[in-house]
Amino acid sequence: MSELVLIERNAFGVDGAVKLTLNRPDAFNALSEALLDALEGALKDIAGSDARVVVLAGAGRAFCAGHDLKEMRAEPALDTYRELFARCSRMMLTIQRMPQPVIARVHGIATAAGCQLVAMCDLAVASSEARFAVSGVNLGLFCATPAVPLSRNVSRKAAFEMLVTGDFIDAATARERGLVNRVASPGELDDAVRLFAAAIAAKPREAVAAGKGLFYRQLETGIEAAYALASETMACNMMQDVTLEGTQAFIEKRPPKWNRTS
């Protein structure tokens, strides 16, 4: 895999955790076409592996500053832009479609498509010094694609305010609005991510994967269809060996005897 994305397995000392680091620090990890392709490739490789949880981070002083505007401006053509945003959307959807939960480890700034990346991750832990914005409107470009996951993370009015003002919000506000789960001081950020990753990695992979898939499918349906999907998911989940063992262990008031590879 390209060095545009650094891959660390058993990251943070957690068995089954994979850390992906966007590695364009001099460009604040702006999402060039090459970086989009490298990240999508890395995510797809991990999706088919025995990894249990993924952490997405950024090298240098920022998490991600969004699209590479210099690259975008170099060839102003409608078809070029259509392909770029379609490519970015494919990468973003890969995060949601993979079976492993993805945690954004956010420090510095997360702007425009970088903020979109945080919103697309299943979970997020931010440094108390992190800042978030969908600031394209300041350049005359409404952040339409970032609006999709942003409006599915925070309330409509909070999302629209960010989109039409381009203003930054701090980490505490991002947590209040639901964009991130946890906030830690810069020196404790990795410990907070490690604890989060370890808690997920300790759970049966089958249950987490089934649950993640169902979580997103039911969000996009009406309530009756959502219950039907959820009922089928739980019925299938109950028939898995790890679940049968887990429930039996609860009945017998003992720890479950799960195979660590499950």
- CATH 3.90.226.10 in the chain is located at 5-201
User: Residue 106: helix, strand or coil by DSSP?
Assistant: strand
- What's the pTM? 0.92
- Whose tokens are 């702006």? That residue is 30
Please list the residues that pair with 58 across neighbouring strands.
Answer: 22
Q: What is the C-alpha radius of gyration for the chain, rounded to an integer number of angstroms?
A: 19
Distances (CA, A) of 158 to 22, 51, 109, 125, 170: 28, 35, 19, 20, 13
pLDDT in single tens digits along all 262 residues of the chain? 459 999 999 999 999 999 999 999 999 999 999 999 999 999 999 999 999 999 999 999 999 999 999 998 898 899 999 999 999 999 999 999 999 999 999 999 999 999 999 999 999 999 999 999 999 999 999 999 999 999 999 999 999 999 999 999 999 999 999 999 999 999 999 999 999 999 999 999 999 999 999 999 999 999 898 889 888 888 888 788 888 888 888 889 999 887 555 4
Q: Environment class of residue 19 by beta-carbon count within 10 Å: exposed (0-12), middle (13-18) or buried (19+)?
A: buried
- CATH 1.10.12.10 in the chain is located at 205-251
- Contact status, residue 45 vs residue 20, Cβ threshold 8 Å: no
Class of domain 205-251: mainly alpha
Q: Which two tokens stand for residue 5?
A: 């994305």
Residue in 128, 133, 129 with CA at minimum distance from that of residue 183: 128
CATH number of 5-201, picked from 2.40.50.100, 3.10.590.10, 3.90.226.10, 3.20.20.20: 3.90.226.10
Q: Helix 223-238 to helix 241-251 angle, to the nearest 10 degrees?
A: 80
Q: Which two tokens stand for residue 95?
A: 């995060």
